[in-house]
Amino acid sequence: MKVMSFNILCGGKGENVWTKRKPLVRDVIKKYNPDTFGLQEAHYKWMLYLRWAFRKEYDFVGVGRDDGKTKGEFSPVFYKKDKYEVVDKGNFWLSETPEKPGLGWDAKCVRICSYVVLKDKQTGEQFAHFNTHLDHVGDVARSEGARLIAERADMFKGIPTIVTGDFNVNPTSGAYKTITAAGFEDARTLDADANDIESYNGFDVHPSEMIDFVFVKYGFKVKSCNTITDKVNGRYISDHYPVLAELEL
């Protein structure tokens, strides 16, 4: 199976405004054909477009982070609806009160994690996919958010689990160390041939960084994990590149 994490950028300016990038985002996802994919910075209008664009192949789990409905960015998980049956799903906020919208710790923005537990309709195998976007300011919020996600993932002990997301930090950070200390492994580190290209490109205006990850736990074998650097006529698709992992149960 293939899994993708992709920050599609809620806005953008000029040629990089989101309305001009919509078909580029759609096409790169369709090209790589992931079984599941987690997005970041998908506001409600993005979600309306994506739900329509992928209506034949995918369904999704996720809500707006500001009100638990449509306001604010989503961190949705899309999944192939013909291949998988939903066993469980949900959303929680990265804060001291995870069951309702609100700021957590020293975060600048409200942050959310959405998840789904899926069963392969043919094999009966189950796995969970959690997706998030950690805060861009608060160090405590990032580490505590990573801890909370790891704890929630343990609700499904024994089920292979994926966590995708824009962690807004590099592998030397506290948040990265928090989630790996909880038993999650960075899929990129398990692929000896990974291309090791930074996931944040900043439209080639800002310094590049490795801040987007696919983590796995409980029984996944990583066959490959790479940063996807596709462009269209020299244009960046987003200010982040997608990260694509090929996994085997």
Each residue's pLDDT tens digit, 26-46: 999 999 999 999 999 999 999
In this predicted structure, what is the pLDDT of residue 19? 98
In this predicted structure, what is the pLDDT of residue 110? 98
Going from the C-alpha of 29 to that of each of 5, 136, 242, the distances in angstroms are 10, 25, 9
- Residue 17, C-beta contacts closer than 8 angstroms, at least 6 positions apart: 11
The CA distance from 134 to 38, in Å, is 13
The CA distance from 124 to 84, in Å, is 9
CB atoms within 10 A of CB 28: 21
In this predicted structure, what is the pLDDT of residue 143? 98
In this predicted structure, what is the pLDDT of residue 157? 81
Each residue's pLDDT tens digit, 46-95: 999 999 999 999 999 999 999 999 999 999 999 999 999 999 999 999 99
Each residue's pLDDT tens digit, 146-193: 999 999 999 998 899 999 999 999 999 999 999 999 999 999 999 999
Domains of the chain, each with CATH number or no CATH:
2-248 (3.60.10.10)
Exposure string of 78-109, with b = 16+ CB inside 10 Å and e = fewer, is bbbbebbeeeebebbbbbeebeebbbbbebeb
Q: Could you tell me the pLDDT band of residue 138, with boundaries at 50, 70 and 90?
A: very high
Instruction: Tokens 């998840």: give the residue.
Output: 115
